[in-house]
Structure 1
Amino acid sequence: MSFDVNTLYSASVLVLGLVGVLLLWAWLQSRHSNALVWWAFAFIVSTIGVVLLSDWDILPDLWSVEVALTLIVVGHGLIWAGVRSFAGKPVPWFGILIGAIVWMIAYQTQAVEESTTDRVVIMALLSIIYSALTAFELIRQGGFAMRSGRAAVGLLVLHIVMLLLRIPVARQLPFPFQDETADPHMALLTIEPMLFAVAIGFVLLTLTRERDEAIEHAAASTDPLTGVLNRRGFFDAAEKLRRRAGRHKHPVAALLLDIDHFKVVNDTYGHAAGDAVLERFAAGVRETLRLHDVFGRIGGEEFAIVFAEGDQEQVGALAERIRKRIEAQPIDWRNTEIAITTSVGVAVDPRPTLTVEALLEAADRALYEAKRRGRNQVVVANTAARTIDKPAGGPVPDDQIDLRDTSGTSLS
């Protein structure tokens, strides 16, 4: 079986060009993602390189080899640059061009200029480096959180494997660049980049759209003032966490936090000051939590946290760290220091069997008790309700506490 080399190159040109145009068109429809421009030009530049490379029997080596392969290397660099842009990272032009510079320097040596095999090996190594950088950037920036991100990493890894296979193959082949060849390895070396281009172009476009949808969903679920989940987003995320914890038999804890005397802040300093307090409060709490803890604003000055794992002591200790952090960070408002504190109600479901709503109801009763005791403290509603580090004034005796869990057992 023979393969028409010119046909393979023509197909590569058509595919690369179409993918580039598709990505550019997608950017023109919605110009908020500059990553699409980087990726579009990556394919367009690579298309020009393949056109020059396919005319090796017409053009001088300066164009059909040196310039052609330089453009193909730059195309790989532009894909990596697009991923950095997608992640909101600066794009170093030197990083894009360094591969092309290395190639041009290598081509000036007589050995590389006269050896097709050496050129294939160098190009494979440079492509491997850029592909690995692209995959690493996707992984580091959380690409695995999206299905299309995982697909992109998988394709890049597969492409790296195929590029690695080129190196031993290149040492064994004479690379007969005639109109037709019966060598399947020669056809594979031409077809694989074309198939990769189609797949990665489609996946990168899908990755952009998937993130756009996630951003839109997050906007609908986020409190615009504090940047944390709003009530709807909080309950959706908390319920997902509860179900996941239930499958693994992990305890689930809920914390309700209320900013003490928030109305006084609004009445004394104005609503703008109140907004500043809410923003700083949310930021302070968020810095204390882990990334996968669910944190949201569910009322005017009321916030809630739901997380899995951790026993009653650990949950109480976390709540106390949050209380102390808020107390230790007064708000600087127009040269006036506004001291704020928080009361925290905690409930723990060790089984877990309670709904999020039921767990928050138990935390709400504990929060009410924290306010009754004088505010700026933590009350844990569990098998033994108690005050943690009660400020001056002395704790209310435990036998005066009347909290109940969902089973109806008095917590006293």
Structure 2
Amino acid sequence: MTKKRMSLNDLINEHFYADSATHERTRVAWVIGVTLLCVVASLLITYTALAVTNSPMLPVIFVIAALAPGIIAPITTWIIIGAIIKVTRLEELHRHQATYDDLSGLLTRRAFLERCEALLRLSVRNNQPFTLTTLDLDKFKRINDEFGHGAGDEVIKTFSQIALNVLRNADLAGRLGGEEFAIALLGSNPADARQVMERLRRDVEASSIEYFGKQISVTVSIGIASTEGRVNPTLEGLLRHSDAALYQAKDQGRNRIELAGYT
């Protein structure tokens, strides 16, 4: 049985839960370390002061010298380290929200395009094929109108999970906005990309989404553009060509794949 691939949201949540345990261990370690350091430093300072002043080295003095930092240091260190960890986690959360779409778990438009640009440069430098696809859920407005926006959200979540299950870890998937998505495949020529997209198209068509007792079916139209056969390809150009192929798929009846030409 094939293991179901986790969504990006699941991976991020798992990462945050794991980080919580790590942060707590780090916090405890800092408290212990700082407390021991403070106690040792206090005892050394006390000993030095008594030795320099020729004062009697009474045990009670050393007990007080150890107890004071032993009580104060753990409390202050726990508070300070906790504040630092909280700020760090907020920064991580903000980075996550800027990188991943909350509803689909896929990359946001900005994050997708930035990473896509880097992959395109890498593919050109290494003379590797690079294929960009744009995808649009068919008649999505009808789903929202007939079943409600909550149903539309479930459709987007289901489609995104299907896409993640089909794609390789090295592939990029992003939500460009609304019901429009994009997928980048590094090292895949148009024929390879079409096979992957055909599997995705079939899996989406075969899916059935249950929403409050109602079954919702959905299909997807896909446009493909590749660097193969293009001179000095740009991300803007690939997006334009894949969009044109997508519109052609829509015009040809939807629920199909079209490959962009080289003009």
Q: State the TM-score, normalized to the length of structure 2.
A: 0.68
Deviation at residue 321 of structure 1 after TM alignment: 0.7
1:354 correspondence with 2:237? no
Deviation at residue 306 of structure 1 after TM alignment: 1.3
Matched letter for residue 378 of structure 1? I
1:338 correspondence with 2:216? yes
What secondary structure does 1:234 align onto?
helix
1:310 is aligned to 188
State the distance in 1 between where 2:163 and 2:183 align.
10
| Distance 1:219-1:352 versus aligned 2 partners, 3 A rule | farther
What secondary structure does 1:298 align onto?
strand
Q: Percent identity?
A: 35
CA contact 2:159–2:204 (8 Å) conserved in 1: yes
1:327 correspondence with 2:216? no
State the distance in 2 between where 1:221 and 1:374 align.
34
State the distance in 1 between where 2:93 and 2:125 align.
28
1:263 correspondence with 2:141? yes
Matched letter for residue 360 of structure 1? L
2:242 is aligned to 363
Q: Which has the larger radius of gyration?
A: 1
What secondary structure does 1:345 align onto?
strand
Matched letter for residue 369 of structure 1? Q
1:297 correspondence with 2:175? yes
| Distance 1:231-1:48 versus aligned 2 partners, 3 A rule | closer
Equivalence map 1:367-406=2 (5 Å): 367-381=246-260, 404-405=261-262
CA contact 1:246–1:352 (8 Å) conserved in 2: no
1:37 is aligned to 24
1:218 is aligned to 96
Equivalence map 1:11-90=2 (5 Å): 33-45=20-32
Give the count of matched residue pairs: 200
Matched letter for residue 146 of structure 2? T
Q: Out of 114, 135, 154, which is 1:276 matched to?
A: 154
Deviation at residue 315 of structure 1 after TM alignment: 0.7
What secondary structure does 1:292 align onto?
coil
Matched letter for residue 372 of structure 1? D
CA contact 1:331–1:339 (8 Å) conserved in 2: yes
Q: State the TM-score, normalized to the length of structure 1.
A: 0.44
CA contact 1:293–1:305 (8 Å) conserved in 2: yes
Equivalence map 1:23-172=2 (5 Å): 33-45=20-32
State the distance in 2 between where 1:266 and 1:292 align.
33
1:244 correspondence with 2:122? yes
State the distance in 2 between where 1:33 and 1:271 align.
34
Tell which has more relative contact order, 1 or 2 (C-alpha 8 A, sep 6+). Answer: 2
Matched letter for residue 257 of structure 1? L
What secondary structure does 2:185 align onto?
strand
State the distance in 1 between where 2:35 and 2:113 align.
52
What secondary structure does 2:177 align onto?
coil
| Distance 1:379-1:346 versus aligned 2 partners, 3 A rule | same
1:365-412 Cα deviation digits (max 9, x unpaired): 11111112111111122xxxxxxxxxxxxxxxxxxxxxx42xx3xxxx
Return 282-291 or 333-342, whichever deviates more.
282-291
Deviation at residue 353 of structure 1 after TM alignment: 2.7
1:268-323 Cα deviation digits (max 9, x unpaired): 11111111111111111122112232211112111011121012211110110110
Query: Which runs of 5 or more structure 2 residues have no equivalent in the other structure?
Result: 1-18, 41-83
Deviation at residue 212 of structure 1 after TM alignment: 5.8
2:65 is aligned to none
CA RMSD, aligned part only?
2.7
Deviation at residue 38 of structure 1 after TM alignment: 1.2
What secondary structure does 2:115 align onto?
helix
What secondary structure does 1:379 align onto?
strand
Deviation at residue 40 of structure 1 after TM alignment: 3.0
1:390 is aligned to none
CA contact 2:209–2:216 (8 Å) conserved in 1: yes
Query: Which runs of 5 or more structure 1 residues have no equivalent in the other structure?
Result: 1-31, 53-204, 382-403
State the distance in 1 between where 2:27 and 2:151 align.
47
Matched letter for residue 312 of structure 1? P
